[in-house]
Structure 1
Amino acid sequence: MHTLIPFAAPAGPQCQDAMPRLELPYLAELLGLLTPTPPVLGNDDSLSPLHERVHAKSLNLPGVDGLLPWAALDARQLGLTRNHGDTGWAWITPCHWQINADHVAMDHPDTLALDAHEIDALREAMQPYFAEDGITLHSLNHSTWLAHGEILCDLPTASLARACGAKVDRWMPRVAQARSLRRLQNEMQMLLYRHPVNDARAAQRRLTVNSFWISGTGTLPSGAVDKSDTMSVQHSLEAAALRDDAHAWVQAWQQLDSSLIALLLRQAKAGQALELTLCGERMAAGFELQNTAWWNRIQRRFTTPSPAELLRTL
C-alpha cells in the first residue's frame, strides 16, 4: 500500500516555525529503512495542490491543473455517470464567507458541521436556482453535493484546500463560462440570508451558510480506478495546517507518528512492501522499501536527514 501524507510541511508561517520542535521518532527510524524515490515538484500558485496531483496520478487521472475530476469519480462510483456521462461534474460545497473591508475569506466548510437535515434543506432551496443554469444537484455527504451541468464541462476550478483560510477572490474561476456561476453565488447570498436553516444556526450562535465553493471539475477517463484501490491518503494534518495552527498541527503529527507511522515501521521491519510520500507545497518526497545490501542499510542510517530537516525541504 502507498501512503500519502498531505500537509506534512504546510506553508503557513506558524507551522513553519514549529518544525524544529517536531519529535517524530518512528518516522526518523522508518526513513532510515526506506529508499528515496524521485521527488515531484509543485508550486503555491497551482489550482490543484501538489498532494492532489500525486493522488490523481496513482488513479490514472489526467493531471491538468484545476481539472482533476474528483467529482466525476464520485459520480461514477454512485452510478450517476451511466445516465449523465463522465464530464460536466463538480463538487458544490456550502460554506461561510467572512466579508472584510478589503477582501473575502472562507472558513473551512467542516467548521459548519452541517447535519443531514440542514444539508438537505439547503439543497432543496438552492436547486431551482441552479436548474436555471442547467445544473442538477445530487446528494453526496453532509458537507458536499455533486453537481452536473454543461456549464461545468472543462471548467478549471481551485481546490477547496486552496481557498480555505485564504482570500477567496484569488481562487475564483475567471474564465468566461464562469460568469453565470459568479452571479449564482451572489443570488445564493441573498437567498440564504434569511433561510430557516441559517436563522436557527444564528440563534444558536453558529456560523451560517452564505455561499458555496465549486471544485473537483474535470472529465473522467475510462482508465481511472477506484479511489480506495491504490493509495491511502491521510488527512489528519489538514485542518490544523489550513488554519496555520502550529500547536494543533504538531499534536496531529505526533499522533500520526505514534499510530500510523509506527505501524508502517513494523511492516518495514517485517519486510512488507510499502511506499510513503510526504507532501508539502513545493515538493512531494517519496520513499519505498527496497531489498538492499546490509552495508547500504547501515550507511543510510547515518546519511538520512532527520524528519525536521526533511520537512523543511518540502
Structure 2
Amino acid sequence: MHLIIPYAASHALVGAPVWDGLQLPNLQTLLNALQRQQAWHDPEPTPFQLPHERLEAQALGWSTETPLPWAAWHQAQQGQASTAPQAWMTPCHWQVGMDQVVMANPDHLHLSDDESQQLLQAMQPFLQEDGLQVTWHSALLWHAQGAMLADLTTASLDRVIGQNVKAWMPDSPAARPLQRLQSEMQMLLYNHPVNDAREARRQHTVNAFWLHGAGTLPATAPTAAPPTNGAVTVSHALRASALHGDLQTWQKAWQQLDATVLADLLQHLKTTGQGTLSLCSEHAAHTYTAKPAAWHQKITRLFNKPSPAAALQALITT
C-alpha cells in the first residue's frame, strides 16, 4: 500500500502558524515506524509536473521523461482506453497586466455547468477545425482528443495557478497550433453572452483555456502498478485549501486525513509489515517505507523521534 499526499505542506502557507494545534497521532506513529528512503526536490528549471504526479507516474510504471497522460489514464479507468493523444481542457481567466498575464484560480470562477456548456458549444467549430474532439466532463474539465495533442508537453494546472502563464506555455513547433487556437478563443470569448452576464455580475470572465494532462497512454498495461508498491492511493483532500491559502481549512483537512487514510495505512502496516507514505509539497516529495532499519538507525530513531511538524516543515525548507 502506497499513500501519496499532495500539499502535505504548502509554500502558500509559509509564514502562518501552520503547525499550531495540529494533532496528527497516526502520522506520528507512522513516522516512528517508517524510514525516509527518498527525497525529491525540484531541479532548475522547475518541471512542468508536480512531485506527487511524478511519484504516481513512477508507481504506474510510466517514464517521467515524457508527458504524463492523465486525461488518457482517466478515460482508460472508465473503460474507454484509446491510443489517441488526449488532454484535459480547463476554461479559465487570465489577468492581463502591464508585463505579465497571470492565471486566476479556475475554482474562483464558480462557473456553472450551464455557463461551461454554452462556452464549449461556442468554441466547438474552432476546436473541430483543428481536429480536436472535445467533450464536456464537468464545468472546469473538458476532455480533448486529437492529433494536435501528440508530442505536446503541457504544464500541470496547479503549476500555473497564480503564475505568469508565459513561463508555462509549451514552446515547441508542436505547440504553435495551440498558441493560435488560444488567440482565436480569446477573441471569440470576449463578447460571448455568458461573459457579458458575468461582467454585469462583477465576476471574472472566461477568456482562455489551459491544456493539461496531455499525452498518449503507454502501450504497457495501463492499470498495473509495480508489485513493490502495491495499491497506490493519492489523496487530494488538502489541495483546495492549500491553493486558497486557507490555513484553518487545511488543518481540518489534515486532521481528517489522519483519522481516515493514515489510520488505514497504519493498520495495513501493522497487519502486513508493509507500507509506503509519500508526503509532498509543490516542489518536494519525501517517501517513507517499512524497510528494516539497521541497529544504529533504530537507536537514533528511539531517541530522536521525528515529529509531524518537522517532517512537514522539511518539505518547504530543504
Give the TM interval when normalised to the shorter protein. Answer: 0.7 to 0.9
Identity of paired residues, percent?
42
Q: One-letter code of the match for 1:302?
A: F
Correspondence for 1:69: 69
Correspondence for 1:4: 4
How much has 1:162 moved relative to structure 2? 0.5
Equivalences, count: 309
Q: How does 1:1-314 map to 2 (within 5 A)?
A: 1-12=1-12, 14-15=13-14, 17-21=16-20, 23-26=22-25, 27-43=27-43, 45-64=46-65, 67-81=67-81, 85-226=82-223, 230-269=231-270, 273-289=274-290, 300-314=301-315
How much has 1:291 moved relative to structure 2? 6.9
Tell me how far apart the structure 2 counterparts of residues 28 and 77 of structure 1 sit (CA, whole Å): 34
SS at match of 2:7: strand
How much has 1:186 moved relative to structure 2? 1.8
Tell me how far apart the structure 2 counterparts of residues 150 and 112 of structure 1 sit (CA, whole Å): 30
Aligned residues of 2:3 and 2:265 also touching (Cα < 8 A): no
Tell me how far apart the structure 2 counterparts of residues 119 and 284 of structure 1 sit (CA, whole Å): 35
Aligned residues of 1:105 and 1:168 also touching (Cα < 8 A): yes
Q: One-letter code of the match for 1:61?
A: W
Aligned residues of 1:10 and 1:16 also touching (Cα < 8 A): no
Q: One-letter code of the match for 2:8?
A: A
Q: One-letter code of the match for 2:118?
A: A
Residues 126, 169 of structure 1: alpha-carbon distance in 2 compared, 3 angstrom cutoff? same
Aligned residues of 1:34 and 1:287 also touching (Cα < 8 A): yes
User: Tell me, which stretches of 5 or more residues in structure 2 are unaligned?
Assistant: none
Aligned residues of 2:91 and 2:106 also touching (Cα < 8 A): yes
Moved more, 198-207 or 157-166: 198-207
Tell me how far apart the structure 1 counterparts of residues 182 and 235 of structure 2 sit (CA, whole Å): 31
User: Tell me, which stretches of 5 or more residues in structure 1 are unaligned?
Assistant: none
How much has 1:295 moved relative to structure 2? 10
How much has 1:216 moved relative to structure 2? 0.8
Moved more, 262-271 or 278-287: 262-271
Tell me how far apart the structure 1 counterparts of residues 301 and 183 of structure 2 sit (CA, whole Å): 57
How much has 1:150 moved relative to structure 2? 1.4
Aligned residues of 1:155 and 1:217 also touching (Cα < 8 A): yes
Moved more, 197-206 or 166-175: 197-206
SS at match of 1:36: strand
Residues 151, 23 of structure 1: alpha-carbon distance in 2 compared, 3 angstrom cutoff? same
Tell me how far apart the structure 2 counterparts of residues 137 and 25 of structure 1 sit (CA, whole Å): 43
SS at match of 2:64: coil
Q: One-letter code of the match for 2:140?
A: S
Tell me how far apart the structure 1 counterparts of residues 70 and 153 of structure 2 sit (CA, whole Å): 12
1:158-199 CA deviation, whole Å, 9 max, x = no partner?
A: 110100111111111111221221221122122122223223
Q: One-letter code of the match for 1:25?
A: L
Tell me how far apart the structure 1 counterparts of residues 126 and 63 of structure 2 sit (CA, whole Å): 31
1:251-273 CA deviation, whole Å, 9 max, x = no partner?
A: 43334334433444455455564
Tell me how far apart the structure 1 counterparts of residues 194 and 78 of structure 2 sit (CA, whole Å): 27
SS at match of 2:63: coil
1:242-295 CA deviation, whole Å, 9 max, x = no partner?
A: 344444433433343344334444554555643211012443212234677999
Aligned residues of 1:15 and 1:245 also touching (Cα < 8 A): no
Tell me how far apart the structure 1 counterparts of residues 221 and 56 of structure 2 sit (CA, whole Å): 12
Tell me how far apart the structure 1 counterparts of residues 15 and 75 of structure 2 sit (CA, whole Å): 37
SS at match of 1:256: helix
Normalised by the length of structure 2, the TM-score is 0.84
Tell me how far apart the structure 1 counterparts of residues 105 and 218 of structure 2 sit (CA, whole Å): 30
Tell me how far apart the structure 1 counterparts of residues 216 and 312 of structure 2 sit (CA, whole Å): 34
Aligned residues of 1:90 and 1:216 also touching (Cα < 8 A): yes
Aligned residues of 2:24 and 2:255 also touching (Cα < 8 A): no
SS at match of 1:191: helix
How much has 1:92 moved relative to structure 2? 0.8
